[in-house]
Structure 1
Amino acid sequence: MVANVALRLRMTERRMTKAELAREVNTEVKTLTGQVGTVSERTVHNWLTGQTRWPPAKIRYALTTVFGCTAEELGFVPTRRTHTAREEDVRRRDFIAVAGGSAVVALATSTATAPRRIGLTDIQQLQARFAEVVASDHRHGGRLSIETRAGQLADEALALQEAGSATQWIRAQLYASAASFMSSAMWAAIDGRRFDAALQHQQKAASLAAMSGDSSIQFRIWSHTGSLYRHLGRPGDAIAANDVARNLPIARRDPLFASLGHARHAAIHGLTGDTNAVRRSLAHAQDALDRADPGASRPLWITAFYDQSELDSLALAAFLAAGSWEDAEARAHRSLALRRGVMQRSRAITTVRLAHAQLGQGDIGPAVATAMSVPVEVSVHPRITGMLNVFGTKLNELAPGSGSARTWAEYTHDTRRAST
């Protein structure tokens, strides 16, 4: 016997157990024939081990409906191949054999009157749009247009719930897609300092994620919620929200998620000034990141941004908040050295934080030079603008009337005039 690796991979991608697959196949069989299927966990076991290489016709049809691909693509091997008949013709003859001809009549009738079938193609299209939203966020970030677009796409995903029939798995994926879009709307609002809107998006996103049953998108939303409360200066709420993320199954299964959870916990501890807690969390984050399999299949949103550079950036934020200036500067330099080129906004944020770390050590001239190195086109981002304004205030407190302060004042005046 040859194990059916293709089917196992499809099930793994969807985090589907044998019992869940058996239940969905039986549901599809009932839709097709009017009678509940008899597939059991043992049946699925036989498929996976290769003991059953070509299931009966109605089971094959149900499987292709559940997964949105052919039986051959699921790793099944026909006992007899035909190269002249189309797959639909084969299915029609199969159902004649299964139901004595009545299945064909039912199929023809339902084709003319049944609502649209929502399937894997719809999910893939939503995922492609989500990838576009993530890419736009990395290029621009914080823009109201990103927040608005993500909210609209969430509504489109939810509208598909009422647009036709779908399997339980497909419906869960629709909720997960809607939750993904709302989490991006939430993050755009956080990044753009529209905190009231972010709190509203969080409630909808968390509800949708719960209905999806997808712990990876639940992690994103609750991790973002922790960041939201951190930016609001509410460390107690931030720790509670981030704990929800860290205790989800995905964080226990995948060290990369665990690492992000620990790194964001460190940033929250920085607000309390507890440097020992910061160091402990960062040590856990680094250990988990070192254990993470770089080749594992993961959601786009986490692979697109979280790596060693982002861990160092969060460490920078933690040490900066705690007033550990030297540690903050060291992490800033390492983060900038490792930062991926496409993430210009993230690079700018790290650069401004580096300027703050230098200022905290009394290195006035280098701090001003660092702050002035932020590209003008990126400095208009609401979050970066706010950070630069705080930098200017601190500079004037530390070195009022100094040459560096005058240089900064002239630079900001010219920059604002050029951007208007």
Structure 2
Amino acid sequence: MAVNAVLKQRMADLGLTQEELANRMNAALLEITGRPGDVSDRTVRNLVNGTTRRPIGRTRRALEAVFHCPLKDLGFAVPAERSEDPVERRHFITASTALALAPTVPNSGSPRRVGTSDVERLQRRFAEVIANDHRHGGRLAIERTAVALADEALVLQGSGSAGQRVRKQIYASAAAFRSSAMWAAVDGRRFDDAAAHMQVAVQLAEMAGDPYIKFRIWSHAGTMYRHMGRPADAAAANDVARKLGITRQDPMFASLGLARQGAIHGVAGDGAAARRAFDQSQDAMQRADPAAARPVWMNAFYDQAELDSLALCAYLSLGDFERAEAHGHRCLSALRPHMQRSKAIATTRVARAQLEQGALETAVARAMSVPGEAANRHPRVGGMLRAFGRRPEVIAPGSATARTWATYIRDTWR
């Protein structure tokens, strides 16, 4: 079988992953037929890899509606035409034409004006996405919601006239949503999806000309590569963020860039560089004006607790468990109440630092305090707790503490 290079390129042109194309095809089918679509990731994978060479019926209709072109222009062999009910065919043509024109032809008779109220609505939805991320983190539903909202922003671009400032703000909103989708995928350990979101987000941010969202995207990219165990790529991506002008204008952005650089040095095993980065990050934070105007995403998460969280991560990687634990306690004492995902992660890391210092009972008790929902539903927390759980039997094989942990895991995670 041969890969359908034409379809693959058309998907790349629109910045669509296989999952996103499936979602758009299902939306098109709902519009065309009035019934929800059942296109899955596997359906799209078979279309791309050449397993399905002649899509028919609903699959064909959905493809033609999404890409606004005949099937043959998507690299497929066109099946022989079958007799079709004229009414049904007219309904399809009308519905698919409406889909194609929806971004550019408003429902009213006169052109619609896209304005600041539309931008404000998008910004409110962005704040909701961030709040959900802090409560839950990493879930596929957050990623999908963010992608859908990015698409909604782009549809808004074509729905009417707008000034240049508003257009840039809408592109910035689309980039922000995509960067949230990227972060949800990173947090959920779906790194291929995260990289795909990053590519789209970078393009949108360039169109917006917004240095703040550029910083967020490249800073997230550095974190993505750090979690993938690629410190050289992580440092290079984070450097893109750190070299933006806003790090010179606002020390708070400089502080975040340096703190994430410190975490990268930790993964790379460079203790001296990590300590220097965190010292510089702390100094920059102390110089920052707490009342300065900053984007909602920055205000929502970066503070002393996050700086200490990154230091906790770095010193754990370096094996400096006493220093890691100290930063962990500072982080937990300063975390804002809504940061539930961050609390679960920091608690698990503190438990690991205590465990490696020989405080088995204290460490196990702390690890058991992580809510079961976080352990079961958050991929990063679950992975960290599994790594933690392998250590008691290594450090104290057959001990009562090791048995306590094994029983807890069996009863809680079954």
Aligned positions of 1:226-245 closer than 5 A: 226-245=222-241
Maintained 8 Å contact 1:255/1:289: yes
> 2:116 and 2:237 mapped to 1: Cα distance?
32
Counterpart among 187, 203, 206 of residue 202 in structure 2: 206
Counterpart among 120, 126, 131 of residue 127 in structure 2: 131
> 1:363 and 1:274 mapped to 2: Cα distance?
26
> 1:163 and 1:189 mapped to 2: Cα distance?
30
Deviation at 1:172, TM superposition (A): 0.7
Maintained 8 Å contact 1:153/1:178: yes
State the match for 2:344 in structure 1. Answer: 348
State the match for 2:394 in structure 1. Answer: 397
Q: In structure 1, what residue type is equivalent to 2:244?
A: L
> 1:192 and 1:132 mapped to 2: Cα distance?
19
Deviation at 1:271, TM superposition (A): 0.7
Counterpart among 129, 140, 147 of residue 151 in structure 1: 147
Residues matched between the structures, number: 306
Give unmatched runs, 5+ long, in structure 2: 1-107
> 1:226 and 1:400 mapped to 2: Cα distance?
38
Deviation at 1:242, TM superposition (A): 0.2
- Deviations 1:232-257 (Å, cap 9, x if unpaired)? 00000000000000001111111111
Give unmatched runs, 5+ long, in structure 1: 1-111
Maintained 8 Å contact 1:141/1:345: yes
State the match for 1:85 in structure 2. Answer: none
Q: Secondary structure at the match of 1:233?
A: coil
Q: Does 1:324 align with 2:304?
A: no
Q: Secondary structure at the match of 1:269?
A: helix
> 1:413 and 1:261 mapped to 2: Cα distance?
40
Deviation at 1:353, TM superposition (A): 0.3
State the match for 1:369 in structure 2. Answer: 365
Q: Secondary structure at the match of 2:198?
A: helix
Counterpart among 281, 288, 295 of residue 292 in structure 1: 288
> 1:293 and 1:305 mapped to 2: Cα distance?
16
Counterpart among 322, 331, 334 of residue 335 in structure 1: 331
Deviation at 1:376, TM superposition (A): 1.5
State the match for 1:25 in structure 2. Answer: none
Deviation at 1:413, TM superposition (A): 0.7
> 1:247 and 1:238 mapped to 2: Cα distance?
14
Larger gyration radius, structure 1 or structure 2: 1
Maintained 8 Å contact 1:273/1:323: no
> 2:217 and 2:174 mapped to 1: Cα distance?
12
Counterpart among 386, 411, 414 of residue 414 in structure 1: 411
Aligned positions of 1:13-32 closer than 5 A: none
Deviation at 1:368, TM superposition (A): 0.8
Q: Secondary structure at the match of 2:315?
A: helix
Deviating above 4 A after TM superposition, structure 1's stretches of 4 or more consecutive aligned residues are none
Q: Does 1:160 align with 2:156?
A: yes
Q: Does 1:382 align with 2:375?
A: no
> 1:259 and 1:162 mapped to 2: Cα distance?
38
> 2:220 and 2:134 mapped to 1: Cα distance?
16
> 2:110 and 2:393 mapped to 1: Cα distance?
70
Q: Secondary structure at the match of 1:208?
A: helix
Q: CA RMSD in A?
A: 1.1
> 1:233 and 1:359 mapped to 2: Cα distance?
23
Deviation at 1:166, TM superposition (A): 0.9
- Deviations 1:209-264 (Å, cap 9, x if unpaired)? 11111000000000000000000000000000000000011111111111100000
State the match for 1:281 in structure 2. Answer: 277
Q: In structure 1, what residue type is equivalent to 2:307?
A: L
Q: Secondary structure at the match of 1:165?
A: coil
Q: In structure 2, what residue type is equivalent to 1:208?
A: L
Q: In structure 2, what residue type is equivalent to 1:166?
A: A
State the match for 1:308 in structure 2. Answer: 304
